[in-house]
Amino acid sequence: MLKDFRIGQTVRGRVTGIQPYGAFVQLDRETQGLIHISECRSAFIQHVGDELVVGQELKVVILDIDYYSQKISLSRRAVIDGSRNVVKPTEESGRSKYHHYWTSPHMSIGFMTIAGNKSQMVNEALRRLK
| DSSP labels, 96-107 | EEEEEEEE-SS-
Provide the pLDDT for residue 58. Answer: 95
Per-residue pLDDT of the chain (130 residues; tens, 9 = 90+): 777 889 989 999 999 999 999 999 999 988 999 999 999 988 888 999 999 999 999 999 999 988 888 889 999 998 988 765 444 444 443 444 444 444 434 333 333 334 445 566 666 777 777 6
Listed by start position, the domains of the chain span: 2-129
In whole angstroms, what is the distance from residue 49 CA to residue 120 CA? 39
pTM: 0.63
Q: Does the domain formed by 2-129 have CATH 2.40.50.140?
A: yes
